[in-house]
């Protein structure tokens, strides 16, 4: 059974209560969610580099979350089409934190997945006679926006798209939705979150306003 974000948080909170029942302040579910994101993202980055060293491949499927539908925008003024990516992704080399962006309904026989370039690569390509990329979709990232190298992409390939991301910020994943953690590291994730929260709770509060942090 897929584990939801709330199920992970409940396991963390139960572990904290068992380890230390005399808690001076309550750790709420939202704090656990934030710490889960931090731990899982760090482990996803480690997983990517471990896979790269062994096989040259990217991150394992368990670290990836699919967001859909995402609406593509075809500007009326004739500018290039774009879509806004709904969630931050892990910072991996060559934008590997984005596993794929593609239309949900294909209007051509060939399945299209966007080739994501750096802005420098994009500018160089636009000055190249081969910039049509043999019909492949391509674009570059500008913040959280993917700007395509063509107009009316939504009209041609459909208005609804999907993005597969290595999760860094799961604020758009509901508490009762699946939380992307490979089953073989679930206990490691719980343990790391518990350790971080215990360490945070054990840090003394700086009650003296003297412009110096209490260590």
**DSSP states of 91-134:** --GGGTTEEEEEESS-SSSS---PEEE-HHHHHHHHTSTTTTGG
Mean pLDDT of 43-58: 66
d(CA 129, CA 197): 56
Res. 79: pLDDT tops 60:
yes
Res. 125: pLDDT tops 90:
no
Q: What DSSP letter does each residue of 182-201 carry, written as one string?
A: -GGGHHHHHHHHHHHHHHHH
Say what the pLDDT of residue 21 is: 43
Name 82's bridge partners: 73, 147
**Cis before 203? omega within 30:** no
Res. 81: pLDDT tops 90:
yes
The answer to which of 72-81, 116-125, 180-189 has the lowest mean pLDDT is 116-125
**Overall pTM surpassing 0.75 (yes/no):** no
Kindly give the pairing relationship between strand 64-73 and strand 160-166.
antiparallel
The answer to which of 4-18, 99-113, 201-215 has the lowest mean pLDDT is 201-215
Res. 112: pLDDT tops 90:
no
């Amino acid at each position: 059974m897929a584990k939801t974000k709330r199920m992970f948080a409940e396991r963390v909170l139960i572990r904290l209560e068992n380890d230390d029942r005399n808690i001076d302040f309550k750790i709420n579910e939202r704090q656990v969610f934030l710490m889960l994101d931090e731990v899982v993202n760090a482990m996803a980055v480690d997983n990517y580099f471990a896979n790269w060293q062994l096989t040259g491949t990217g991150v394992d499927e368990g670290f990836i979350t699919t967001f859909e539908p995402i609406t593509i925008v075809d500007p009326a003024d004739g500018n290039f089409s774009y879509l806004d990516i709904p969630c931050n992704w892990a910072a991996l080399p060559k934008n590997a934190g984005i596993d794929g962006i593609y239309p949900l309904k294909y209007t051509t026989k060939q399945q299209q997945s966007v080739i994501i370039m750096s802005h420098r690569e994009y500018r160089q390509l636009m000055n190249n006679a081969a910039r049509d990329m043999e019909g492949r979709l391509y674009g570059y990232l500008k913040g959280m926006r993917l700007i395509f190298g063509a107009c009316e992409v939504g009209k041609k390939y459909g208005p609804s798209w999907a993005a597969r991301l290595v999760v860094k910020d799961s604020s758009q994943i509901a508490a009762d939705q699946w939380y992307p953690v490979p089953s073989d590291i679930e206990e490691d994730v719980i343990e790391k979150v518990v350790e971080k929260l215990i360490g945070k709770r054990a840090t003394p509060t700086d009650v003296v306003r003297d412009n110096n942090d209490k260590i």
